[in-house]
């Protein structure tokens, strides 16, 4: 994590820094986890510095854009107070596709804009920072981001809401209109997390409550099949199940039926992934950050089993025992994934070096996942 801070222009601060929202969200959680483990103040300071740098860089228009200032359109002083009100850029190298410009699926992966599932990761990182510091400011920024993201990414009538996958930098038009497979589930879990933390730290004003947004996401989640064979997606489901369990125990989420569906679909997903597993391929044919996302989720299984065991009255005992035991059969994959990417020769492969920053951070999370997984 120190190497990451130095390489990306965080320590010491270098302009322009190499900021990327997904990677930075995990990095904030990693620094928080290191601070909790060691008590070393430098890690807490790095988390705070990274948040400020992300907001100052990804909360503003690109340097190659004719527009300037905060994406939200707020003036400098108000923008500093509300840095997430306009959302946050992804941090891709290429400028966004302008409205009316022809769509190119290959190029779109490299173009800037805003992703809903990146914004939920950043909401989670900010919320973790509020919980470890006791400062409600970061939670308030996460709530403001949730309000903005929900208002701009949702579309359709209230009885049939769906989400855009990718929006323009200023959130004025969709870049990819289809809905991300797990985006509504991410939204429901993250909104519930933010509201729970806000209630503990500072109480909730009417403007900050996410009750309507939570209800919207719950409605979008109805009847969905979450199963996938993508390793990052499978890891996300397992992480989601563990977060849901923590929220259910705290009384901040009531959807035990949805929790059971997510656990069942996680098991289906692991079965699918194992059948087509890429883990026997050489490094050049593997994407480390996707596999490491799975590894992080796999490490949530034992924690999930512990919660269900400690709170048998909250969860159906038969359900918890049978499904968690089945999930535990796959836990060994986490050790194998970590061991593979800890080998120097595999971190010299083209696939590692091409995505080095995100790979470094996701490997760090996989080696010490508590900062990211815990809602305590």
Q: Where are the alpha helices (DSSP H) in the chain?
A: 2-7, 21-38, 41-58, 76-81, 105-108, 116-133, 136-153, 183-201, 211-221, 231-249, 256-275, 288-310, 317-328, 332-342, 350-354, 356-367, 370-373
pLDDT in tens, 179-220: 999 999 999 999 999 999 998 886 656 456 899 999 999 999
Q: Residue 309: what pLDDT?
A: 85
Three-state DSSP at 185 gives: helix
pLDDT at 206: 47
Quick one: pLDDT at residue 319?
61
* DSSP labels, 207-263: TT--HHHHHHHHHHHTT-------HHHHHHHHHHHHHHHHHHHTTS---HHHHHHHH
pLDDT at 199: 87
Cα 25 from Cα 226, distance rounded (Å) = 23
Mean pLDDT of the chain: 94
The pLDDT of residue 277: 78
Q: At CB < 8 A and 24+ separation, what contacts does 89-93 make?
A: 89/21, 89/58, 89/59, 89/62, 89/113, 89/114, 89/169, 90/20, 90/21, 90/22, 90/58, 90/114, 90/115, 90/118, 91/19, 91/20, 91/21, 91/24, 91/57, 91/58, 92/20
**Residue with more model confidence, 230 or 311:** 230
End-to-end CA distance of the chain: 22
Quickly state the pLDDT bin for 300 (edges 50, 70, 90). very high
pTM exceeds cut of 0.85: yes
pLDDT the model gives residue 115: 98
Question: How many C-beta neighbours within 10 Å does residue 293 have?
Answer: 26
Return phi, psi of residue 34, to 5°.
-65, -40
User: What is the rounded distance in angstroms from the CA atom of residue 299 to the CA atom of residue 332?
Assistant: 9
For the cut 70, the answer to whether the pLDDT of residue 318 exceeds it is: no
Inter-residue contact 262 to 301 (CB < 8 Å)? no
Percentage, residues of the chain above pLDDT 90 = 85
Strands 114-115 and 154-155: unpaired
Question: 162 — phi, psi (to 5°)?
Answer: -140, 175
How confident is the model at residue 316, as a pLDDT? 72
Rounded Cα–Cα distance for residues 366 and 34 (Å)? 13
54 CB neighbour count, 10 Å cutoff: 27
Average pLDDT over residues 2-21: 95
The per-residue pLDDT for range 42-51, each reduced to its tens digit, is 999 999 999 9
259 neighbors 252 (Cβ within 8 angstroms): no
Is the Cβ–Cβ distance between 26 and 367 less than 8 Å?
no
């Amino acid at each position: 994590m120190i190497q990451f801070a130095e390489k990306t222009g965080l320590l010491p601060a270098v302009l322009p820094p190499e900021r990327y929202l997904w990677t930075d969200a995990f990095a904030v959680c990693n620094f928080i986890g290191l601070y909790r483990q060691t008590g070393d103040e430098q890690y807490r300071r790095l988390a705070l510095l990274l948040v400020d740098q992300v907001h100052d860089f990804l909360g503003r228009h690109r340097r190659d854009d004719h527009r300037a200032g905060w994406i939200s359109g707020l003036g400098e002083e108000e923008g500093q107070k509300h840095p997430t009100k306009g959302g946050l850029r992804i941090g891709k190298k290429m400028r966004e596709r302008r409205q009316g410009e022809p769509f190119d699926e290959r190029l779109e992966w490299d173009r800037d804009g805003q992703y809903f599932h990146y914004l939920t990761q950043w909401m989670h990182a900010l919320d973790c920072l509020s919980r470890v510091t006791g400062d409600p400011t970061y939670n308030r920024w996460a709530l403001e981001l949730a309000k903005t993201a929900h208002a701009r990414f949702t579309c359709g009538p209230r009885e049939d809401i769906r989400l855009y996958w990718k929006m323009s930098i200023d959130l004025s038009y969709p870049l990819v209109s289809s809905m991300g497979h797990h985006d509504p589930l991410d939204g429901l879990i993250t909104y519930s997390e933010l509201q729970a933390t806000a209630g503990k730290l500072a109480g909730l004003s009417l403007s900050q409550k996410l009750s309507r947004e939570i209800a919207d996401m719950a409605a979008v989640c109805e009847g969905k099949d979450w199963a996938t064979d993508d390793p990052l997606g499978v890891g996300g489901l397992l992480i989601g199940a563990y977060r849901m369990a923590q929220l259910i125990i705290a009384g901040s989420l009531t959807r035990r039926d949805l929790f059971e569906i997510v656990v069942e679909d996680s098991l289906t997903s692991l079965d699918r992934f194992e059948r087509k597993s890429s883990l026997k391929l050489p490094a050049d044919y593997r994407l480390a950050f996707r596999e490491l996302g799975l590894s992080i989720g796999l490490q949530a299984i034992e924690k999930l089993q512990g919660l269900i065991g400690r709170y048998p009255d909250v969860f159906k005992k038969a359900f918890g025992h049978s499904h968690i035991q089945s999930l535990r059969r796959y836990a060994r994959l986490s050790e194998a994934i970590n061991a593979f990417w800890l080998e120097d020769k595999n971190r010299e492969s083209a696939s590692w070096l091409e995505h080095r920053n995100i790979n470094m951070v996701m490997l760090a999370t996989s080696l010490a996942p508590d900062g990211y997984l815990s809602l305590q």
